[in-house]
Structure 1
Amino acid sequence: MEFLADYASFLAKTVTLVVAIIVVLVFIAALRGKGRRRTAGQMQVTKLNDFYKGLRERLEQSLLGKDALKALRKQQGKAQKLEKKAAEVKPRVYVLDFDGDIKASATESMRHEITALLSVATDKDEVVLRLESGGGMVHSYGLASSQLARIRQAGIPLTICIDKVAASGGYMMACIGDRIISAPFAILGSIGVVAQLPNVNRLLKKHDIDFEVLTAGEYKRTLTVFGENTEKGREKFQQDLDITHDLFKNFVARYRPQLSIDEVATGEVWLGMAALDKQLVDELKTSDEYLSEKAKSADVFHLHFAQRKSLQERVGLAASGSVDHLLTRWWSRLTQQRFL
């Protein structure tokens, strides 16, 4: 017991020291950053041709003998010289990534990436968006879709690649592409609208707790968490959902006129192979396969606008990420959930 007490005391002192150091660092960073002009972030550009070339050369170096590798490099050097002499201007492919959460937070970076590429891209080029999203808030994904529509309006070919999921708001974004390419087992569809909230009014009444909801305007509040919901309020709420669903359907039908919209706008999801039959996608292929093929005939550039974050934000994100990972891990252990 004495050992445990000493260890607990040591642990408490260590944690206190670490916290104190972090507080001091944050305070120093705040002082240094005060008065400085803060930039929004910076554009990072990576040529994927070089990345693919590096992968191939590393493998060749491991597989081939010294003489064979030397002969291959000589042959490749001659081919490169011939390409330079031809002076052929290759088309460009601009690659963007969108990993969507419920608020479509990635829109903030994507809007800058699109603004940048629109300043240099032509109709001979192509934009490829690697999209992954299960959807989220209507207005957030509406804005993300509007950003992609800028590419279509500029007359630049837009290809959407889906390796895992593009459902609901994610498919709202995907349908804007001139072409949609999906992995065979990616999840697509969910062209529907959902809203849910708990109501604890009966629990409050049971414990003699009143909750007043005062509004100006008949439909300022239709459904509430604490107040008593009415049938009229439910009908209005459902009406709003139906209107949003109609707008969603019309939006998808505008960009994918080949769809039988009433058949697919049921809120269901399909795997890539079934989605191809329903014309939700145009081709089955992974983004890796598509881009590696493009790299043979075009210059492929990956664009990423990195948002600038202060030290306080970075420390906060790291802490919240650790807590989130820990909670998710223990929840999965408790529930023993399994997904295919």
Structure 2
Amino acid sequence: MEFLAEYAGFLAKVVTLVVAVLVVLAAGVVARSKGRKTPGQLQVDRLNDFYKALRRRLEQAVLDKDQLKAQYKAEAKAEKLAKKSGAHKPRVFVLDFNGDIKASAVDQLRHEVTALLSLAKPQDEVVVRLESGGGMVHSYGLAASQLARIREARIPLTVCIDKVAASGGYMMACIGEKIISAPFAILGSIGVVAQLPNVHRLLKKHNIDFEVLTAGEYKRTLTVFGENTEKGREKFQEDLESIHGLFKGFVSRYRPQLQIEEVATGEVWLGLAALEKQLVDQLQTSDEYLASRAREAELFHLHFATKKTLQERVGLAAGVALDRFVLTWLGRLSQQRFW
């Protein structure tokens, strides 16, 4: 037990030191980048080349020389005929959105959408690979508005969900003319939640006063430190119900086939059940869908990347290392399994 106590003390000191270093690095990054815009660049990758390289590597390992020669000859002949006919394949623009609680990826999404709208035509298609469990109302409202720009331009929009599109994530997904989900992806959570602690009784116990001064009856309804009233709770609940009503109206606008009162309960469903409730249109992974589209269309993956300074890269690497360290030790201590 004495050894464990000493080890725990040593571990706490190490974690404290790492956190202190990260704080110093973060402060340096903020100080250096304040008032300076970080440039970005749109990266475009042709996914057809990626799929072709995968197939070629497998062919080289499986087929003999004569078979490879015949295969390459047939492909060259097909490409020559296609060029001679003058036929143009439709284009598919692929975007990725991996959402956190603040929908931070919207900073890249807005530029990607602006770029593709400058070139895409109604005969093209936009595919968004979406993964998000939702987050802040205003942040996901902006993210959803970016996808709405594609619909307003009358360009077909397909949303693919492999893992999760819940709450604000589903708010984005519902804009797609076609929603494709993996069989066990999590969808739904059409609801609104807010929670905050209140330490008023603890402060009162220690004779600590906390004053809240407002101008406007409902400038502040519930607080962390002050004494909350029933009237404040009622107003806060009223605001949540209002947001929920707007959420339901938004989803109904883009998915009129839904029985909105049945699915807007805050519940989530796996893809198989979501298909029955018409939350999605098709069960398929994004890999399968894009691979099939690559046979008949030109696929372009768009990613707007911002250039990070050396300090930012160092800070990011340190943050990732700390996350892994904490998660590793939590896993060892808990030894829990999750499905």
- Is the TM value for this pair above 0.5? yes
Cα deviation, residue 208, structure 1: 1.7
The reply on whether 1:263 has 2:268 as its aligned counterpart is: no
Distance change in 2, residues 1:199/1:337 (3 Å): farther
Distance change in 2, residues 1:39/1:327 (3 Å): closer
Match of 1:201 in 2: 200
Match of 1:188 in 2: 187
What is the letter of the counterpart of residue 319 of structure 1? A
Query: What is the 5 A alignment of 1:170-189?
Result: 170-189=169-188
Decide whether the 8 Å contact of 2:188 with 2:269 is kept in 1.
yes
Decide whether the 8 Å contact of 2:95 with 2:129 is kept in 1.
yes
Rounded to whole Å, the distance in 1 between the matches of 2:332 and 2:308 is: 34
Match of 2:120 in 1: 121
Q: Percent identity?
A: 73
Match of 1:61 in 2: 60
Match of 2:247 in 1: 248
What is the letter of the counterpart of residue 227 of structure 2? E
Q: Secondary structure at the match of 1:98?
A: strand
Structure 1: which 4+ aligned runs deviate by more than 4 Å?
none
Match of 1:6 in 2: none
What is the letter of the counterpart of residue 149 of structure 2? R
- Aligned alpha-carbon RMSD (Å): 2.3
Rounded to whole Å, the distance in 1 between the matches of 2:329 and 2:236 is: 36
Match of 1:44 in 2: 43
Cα deviation, residue 334, structure 1: 2.9
Cα deviation, residue 325, structure 1: 2.1
Match of 1:319 in 2: 318
Of 246-255 and 205-214, the range deviating more from structure 2: 205-214
Deviations 1:267-299 (Å, cap 9, x if unpaired)? Answer: 000000000000000000000010011111110
Cα deviation, residue 312, structure 1: 1.8
Match of 1:328 in 2: 327
Match of 2:209 in 1: 210
Rounded to whole Å, the distance in 1 between the matches of 2:336 and 2:142 is: 34
Rounded to whole Å, the distance in 1 between the matches of 2:72 and 2:334 is: 55
Deviations 1:222-249 (Å, cap 9, x if unpaired)? Answer: 1111111111111111000000000000
Rounded to whole Å, the distance in 1 between the matches of 2:257 and 2:322 is: 46
Q: Secondary structure at the match of 2:300?
A: strand
Structure 1 regions of 5+ residues with no counterpart? 1-11
Rounded to whole Å, the distance in 2 between the matches of 1:38 and 1:235 is: 43
Match of 2:233 in 1: 234
Rounded to whole Å, the distance in 1 between the matches of 2:170 and 2:306 is: 25
Deviations 1:308-339 (Å, cap 9, x if unpaired)? Answer: 22222222211122112222222233333432
The reply on whether 1:73 has 2:72 as its aligned counterpart is: yes
Of 95-104 and 320-329, the range deviating more from structure 2: 320-329
Match of 2:3 in 1: none
Match of 2:153 in 1: 154
Match of 1:135 in 2: 134
Of 64-73 and 85-94, the range deviating more from structure 2: 64-73
Match of 1:5 in 2: none
Structure 2 regions of 5+ residues with no counterpart? 1-13
Deviations 1:42-90 (Å, cap 9, x if unpaired)? Answer: 0000000000000000000000112221222122222221122122111
Rounded to whole Å, the distance in 2 between the matches of 1:203 and 1:268 is: 35
Decide whether the 8 Å contact of 2:93 with 2:125 is kept in 1.
yes
Of 82-91 and 232-241, the range deviating more from structure 2: 82-91
Rounded to whole Å, the distance in 2 between the matches of 1:334 and 1:231 is: 42
Deviations 1:189-223 (Å, cap 9, x if unpaired)? Answer: 00000000111111111222221112111111111
Q: Secondary structure at the match of 1:210?
A: coil
Q: Secondary structure at the match of 2:68?
A: helix
Q: Secondary structure at the match of 2:295?
A: coil
Rounded to whole Å, the distance in 1 between the matches of 2:43 and 2:81 is: 31
Rounded to whole Å, the distance in 2 between the matches of 1:107 and 1:191 is: 20
Rounded to whole Å, the distance in 2 between the matches of 1:280 and 1:178 is: 12
What is the letter of the counterpart of residue 123 of structure 2? K
Rounded to whole Å, the distance in 2 between the matches of 1:334 and 1:237 is: 39
Of 62-71 and 92-101, the range deviating more from structure 2: 62-71
Distance change in 2, residues 1:127/1:139 (3 Å): same
Rounded to whole Å, the distance in 2 between the matches of 1:332 and 1:108 is: 33
Deviations 1:94-121 (Å, cap 9, x if unpaired)? Answer: 0000000000000000000000000000
Give the TM-score normalised by structure 1.
Answer: 0.88
What is the letter of the counterpart of residue 119 of structure 1? S
The reply on whether 1:94 has 2:93 as its aligned counterpart is: yes
Match of 2:11 in 1: none
Rounded to whole Å, the distance in 2 between the matches of 1:261 and 1:34 is: 45
Query: What is the 5 A alignment of 1:287-306?
Result: 287-306=286-305
Cα deviation, residue 34, structure 1: 11
Match of 1:144 in 2: 143
Match of 1:9 in 2: none
